[in-house]
Chain A
Amino acid sequence: MESNQTCFRRGVRDGMPIALGYFAVAFTLGIAAKNAGFSALQAMVESLTNNASAGEYAVFSLVSAGAGYWEVAVMTLVANARYLLMSCALSQKLAPETGMGHRMLLAFDVTDEIFGVSIAFPGRLNPFYTYGAMAVAIPGWALGTFFGVVVGNVLPLRLVSALSVGLYGMFLAIIVPPARGNRVVLALVLLSFAASWAAASLPALAAMSSGVKTIVLTVAISLGAAILFPVAEEAEA
């Protein structure tokens, strides 16, 4: 059993690539915020309190279109609904006796990436690991947005393009090793790639937002797998 301090430090280490990727992505988000009439401070607070790329982007575009508060609430709900699923999965990764304080703090930053590294934690999740990752990722995200508003497009496109791929590299580092050891997971990863590609290419689904597509595909594929290949107790850990 590792100490909380060791876990926190490991979280900081794994949070570094997240923070770098966030900075680059949030930078472009800041440009959208500026176009919507947000000041640098307001954009930074939006990022600090929302921690969601697609959700924030939706907010910025709605605000620039002059939408009402309810529309923003509904759109935020739709764009971020996948975090509901992630939080459900994360609740099973925690020891059942984990206190409410930890649960409320962890909930603050359930993002694709923080969720990803937390799930990859061996065994039960020590919340301090996630706090370590959050401690670097949240400032990276907020400051990236801030500077995006202040200095606009100063990062060369080449660099933004390269940095934004780092987040996907992390996803690969999380899903590939279990896929190597488990044929069902391997098949699911490949199936998910194919289905996601098909959903993105089909003109009939063009109106569906990518957030909704993610939810529909995740639920359909995971549910099918759960029915066809239920996981044995000892295989989980």
Chain B
Amino acid sequence: MKQNIWIYILVSALVSYLIRVTPLALIRREITNRTLRSFLYYVPYVTLAVMTFPAITEATQRPLAGLLALAAGAVLAWRGGSLFLVAVACCVVVFVSEWILI
């Protein structure tokens, strides 16, 4: 039986939205439990760090280019570079280093 692509779209959209809206709609006050608060405070930093490395070395054609972008981005961000500046700098580092490497 040929499945309908629009139903696939509907199903995935519904599931994606429910995952995101449930906590935002249900947790309507400040959590007072200190451990839980601390957990949620650390979640963003940990999850973004987990997603950045080693993925940044796999997104590029050569792992070294991603590694260089990671180093450059970390140094720039440490020195207070803006979101835009750090993002663009990483792109430039990859573009230039792959130009040399490949």
Binding site for B on A (CB under 8 A): 13-14, 16-17, 21, 37-39, 42, 45-46, 49-52, 55-56, 59, 63, 66, 68-69, 72-73, 76-77, 80-92, 94, 96, 100, 103-104, 106-108, 110, 112, 115-117, 119-120, 157-159, 161-180, 185, 188-189, 192-193, 195-197, 200-201, 210, 213-214, 217-218, 221-223, 225-227, 229-231, 236
Contact = CB atoms under 8 A, between A and B. Distances in A.
Given A171-B51, A175-B48, A87 B19 contact: yes
A167 B87 CA distance: 7
Interface of B: 3, 5-9, 11-13, 15-17, 19-25, 27-31, 34-56, 59-61, 65-66, 69-70, 73-74, 76-78, 80-95, 98-99, 102
Contact of B27 (A39, A63, A91, A179): A91
A18 to B, nearest CB: 8
A76 B18 CA distance: 11
A175 B90 CA distance: 15
Please classify the interface of chain B as helix (H, G, I), strand (E, B), loop, or mixed, using the class held by over half of its residues. Answer: helix
Please classify the interface of chain A as helix (H, G, I), strand (E, B), loop, or mixed, using the class held by over half of its residues. Answer: helix
